[in-house]
Amino acid sequence: MLVNPVDATAIATCAASRKVIVQHSVLVAGASLIRIPLADSLTVTAVQLAMFRALARLHRRPEDDRELSAVLASIGGGMLSFLIGRSGPALAFKTAALAIPVVGPLVRYGAGPALMAGYTWVLGEAFRRHFAAGGSTRDFTVKRFREIARDLMPQGSLG
Protein backbone atom coordinates (compact mmCIF):
# COMPACT_ATOMS: atom_id res chain seq x y z
CA MET A 1 0.00 0.00 0.00
CA LEU A 2 1.38 3.39 -1.00
CA VAL A 3 1.19 6.32 1.39
CA ASN A 4 0.49 9.76 0.01
CA PRO A 5 3.52 11.98 0.84
CA VAL A 6 1.20 14.74 2.04
CA ASP A 7 -0.48 12.31 4.45
CA ALA A 8 2.91 11.06 5.65
CA THR A 9 4.04 14.64 6.33
CA ALA A 10 0.80 15.43 8.18
CA ILE A 11 1.16 12.26 10.27
CA ALA A 12 4.78 13.10 11.13
CA THR A 13 3.86 16.69 12.01
CA CYS A 14 1.01 15.47 14.22
CA ALA A 15 3.30 13.03 16.05
CA ALA A 16 6.00 15.66 16.53
CA SER A 17 3.39 18.18 17.73
CA ARG A 18 2.01 15.76 20.29
CA LYS A 19 5.52 15.08 21.58
CA VAL A 20 6.08 18.85 22.00
CA ILE A 21 2.74 19.18 23.82
CA VAL A 22 3.53 16.38 26.28
CA GLN A 23 7.05 17.68 26.94
CA HIS A 24 5.81 21.19 27.67
CA SER A 25 2.93 19.90 29.81
CA VAL A 26 5.47 18.07 31.98
CA LEU A 27 7.60 21.22 32.18
CA VAL A 28 4.56 23.22 33.27
CA ALA A 29 3.83 20.68 36.00
CA GLY A 30 7.39 21.16 37.25
CA ALA A 31 7.14 24.94 37.01
CA SER A 32 3.91 24.81 39.02
CA LEU A 33 5.86 23.35 41.93
CA ILE A 34 7.80 26.62 42.32
CA ARG A 35 6.74 28.08 45.65
CA ILE A 36 7.73 31.70 44.99
CA PRO A 37 4.68 33.95 44.39
CA LEU A 38 4.34 35.00 40.73
CA ALA A 39 7.54 33.14 39.74
CA ASP A 40 5.48 30.02 39.07
CA SER A 41 2.97 31.95 36.92
CA LEU A 42 5.72 33.66 34.93
CA THR A 43 7.53 30.36 34.39
CA VAL A 44 4.32 28.62 33.30
CA THR A 45 3.62 31.43 30.83
CA ALA A 46 7.16 31.22 29.42
CA VAL A 47 6.87 27.44 28.95
CA GLN A 48 3.48 27.77 27.26
CA LEU A 49 4.84 30.46 24.91
CA ALA A 50 7.76 28.18 24.05
CA MET A 51 5.26 25.40 23.27
CA PHE A 52 3.24 27.72 21.01
CA ARG A 53 6.42 28.76 19.19
CA ALA A 54 7.46 25.14 18.68
CA LEU A 55 4.01 24.20 17.38
CA ALA A 56 3.99 27.20 15.03
CA ARG A 57 7.40 26.14 13.72
CA LEU A 58 6.28 22.53 13.17
CA HIS A 59 3.20 23.70 11.26
CA ARG A 60 5.17 26.35 9.35
CA ARG A 61 3.22 29.26 10.81
CA PRO A 62 4.70 32.65 11.71
CA GLU A 63 6.10 32.80 15.26
CA ASP A 64 4.96 36.28 16.19
CA ASP A 65 5.58 36.58 19.94
CA ARG A 66 3.20 39.51 20.24
CA GLU A 67 0.34 37.51 18.70
CA LEU A 68 1.19 34.40 20.70
CA SER A 69 1.34 36.42 23.93
CA ALA A 70 -2.01 38.05 23.15
CA VAL A 71 -3.64 34.67 22.52
CA LEU A 72 -2.19 33.22 25.72
CA ALA A 73 -3.30 36.27 27.73
CA SER A 74 -6.83 36.08 26.33
CA ILE A 75 -7.14 32.39 27.22
CA GLY A 76 -5.64 32.71 30.68
CA GLY A 77 -2.35 30.84 30.60
CA GLY A 78 -0.04 31.49 33.51
CA MET A 79 -2.67 33.49 35.39
CA LEU A 80 -4.58 30.25 35.86
CA SER A 81 -1.59 28.93 37.77
CA PHE A 82 -1.76 31.91 40.10
CA LEU A 83 -5.51 31.50 40.66
CA ILE A 84 -5.29 27.74 41.23
CA GLY A 85 -2.59 28.17 43.81
CA ARG A 86 -3.81 31.19 45.72
CA SER A 87 -7.59 31.42 45.61
CA GLY A 88 -9.54 31.04 48.85
CA PRO A 89 -11.10 27.66 47.97
CA ALA A 90 -7.74 26.34 46.73
CA LEU A 91 -6.00 27.36 49.94
CA ALA A 92 -8.80 25.79 52.03
CA PHE A 93 -8.55 22.57 50.00
CA LYS A 94 -4.78 22.45 50.38
CA THR A 95 -5.01 22.98 54.14
CA ALA A 96 -7.69 20.30 54.52
CA ALA A 97 -5.74 17.87 52.34
CA LEU A 98 -2.82 17.97 54.76
CA ALA A 99 -5.07 16.42 57.43
CA ILE A 100 -5.32 13.19 55.40
CA PRO A 101 -2.53 10.85 56.51
CA VAL A 102 0.02 9.78 53.87
CA VAL A 103 -1.89 10.89 50.75
CA GLY A 104 -2.74 14.39 52.01
CA PRO A 105 0.62 15.95 51.15
CA LEU A 106 0.58 14.27 47.73
CA VAL A 107 -2.88 15.68 47.02
CA ARG A 108 -1.95 19.10 48.41
CA TYR A 109 1.20 19.50 46.36
CA GLY A 110 0.16 17.49 43.30
CA ALA A 111 -3.27 18.87 42.45
CA GLY A 112 -2.13 22.28 41.13
CA PRO A 113 0.68 20.95 38.93
CA ALA A 114 -1.60 18.20 37.58
CA LEU A 115 -4.31 20.74 36.70
CA MET A 116 -1.79 23.05 35.03
CA ALA A 117 -0.25 20.16 33.05
CA GLY A 118 -3.72 19.14 31.87
CA TYR A 119 -4.63 22.71 30.96
CA THR A 120 -1.37 23.11 29.03
CA TRP A 121 -2.06 19.86 27.17
CA VAL A 122 -5.52 21.16 26.17
CA LEU A 123 -3.98 24.48 25.04
CA GLY A 124 -1.36 22.69 22.99
CA GLU A 125 -3.83 20.27 21.45
CA ALA A 126 -6.14 23.17 20.56
CA PHE A 127 -3.28 24.95 18.80
CA ARG A 128 -2.17 21.75 17.07
CA ARG A 129 -5.66 21.13 15.70
CA HIS A 130 -6.10 24.77 14.71
CA PHE A 131 -2.75 24.87 12.89
CA ALA A 132 -3.40 21.49 11.23
CA ALA A 133 -6.68 22.87 9.89
CA GLY A 134 -4.78 25.75 8.27
CA GLY A 135 -5.36 28.34 10.99
CA SER A 136 -2.85 30.86 12.28
CA THR A 137 -2.29 32.74 15.52
CA ARG A 138 -4.18 35.70 14.04
CA ASP A 139 -7.45 33.80 13.69
CA PHE A 140 -7.21 31.73 16.88
CA THR A 141 -9.84 33.03 19.30
CA VAL A 142 -11.17 32.15 22.74
CA LYS A 143 -14.31 30.88 21.00
CA ARG A 144 -12.20 28.56 18.83
CA PHE A 145 -10.32 27.36 21.93
CA ARG A 146 -13.60 26.54 23.70
CA GLU A 147 -14.89 24.62 20.68
CA ILE A 148 -11.75 22.50 20.50
CA ALA A 149 -11.61 22.04 24.29
CA ARG A 150 -15.22 20.77 24.27
CA ASP A 151 -14.30 18.26 21.57
CA LEU A 152 -11.44 17.01 23.76
CA MET A 153 -13.68 16.38 26.79
CA PRO A 154 -15.53 13.07 27.21
CA GLN A 155 -19.24 13.33 26.40
CA GLY A 156 -21.28 14.56 29.36
CA SER A 157 -18.32 15.78 31.42
CA LEU A 158 -19.14 19.46 30.96
CA GLY A 159 -22.76 19.27 32.04
pLDDT in tens, 57-111: 999 988 777 777 777 776 665 455 545 555 566 566 666 666 777 777 677 677 7
- Give the pTM: 0.76
What pLDDT, on the 0 to 100 scale, is given for residue 143?
83
Cα–Cα distance measured from residue 122 to residue 157, given in angstroms and rounded to the nearest whole number: 15
Closest Cα partner for 145 from 87, 94, 60, 76?
76
Q: Find the distance separating the first CA and the last CA of the chain, reported in whole Å.
A: 44
Q: What are the domain boundaries of the chain?
A: 5-152
Query: DSSP alpha helices (H): ranges in the chain?
Result: 5-31, 39-58, 65-75, 78-86, 88-97, 103-132, 142-152
Closest Cα partner for 145 from 59, 70, 58?
70
What pLDDT, on the 0 to 100 scale, is given for residue 111?
76
pLDDT at 140 > cutoff 90: no
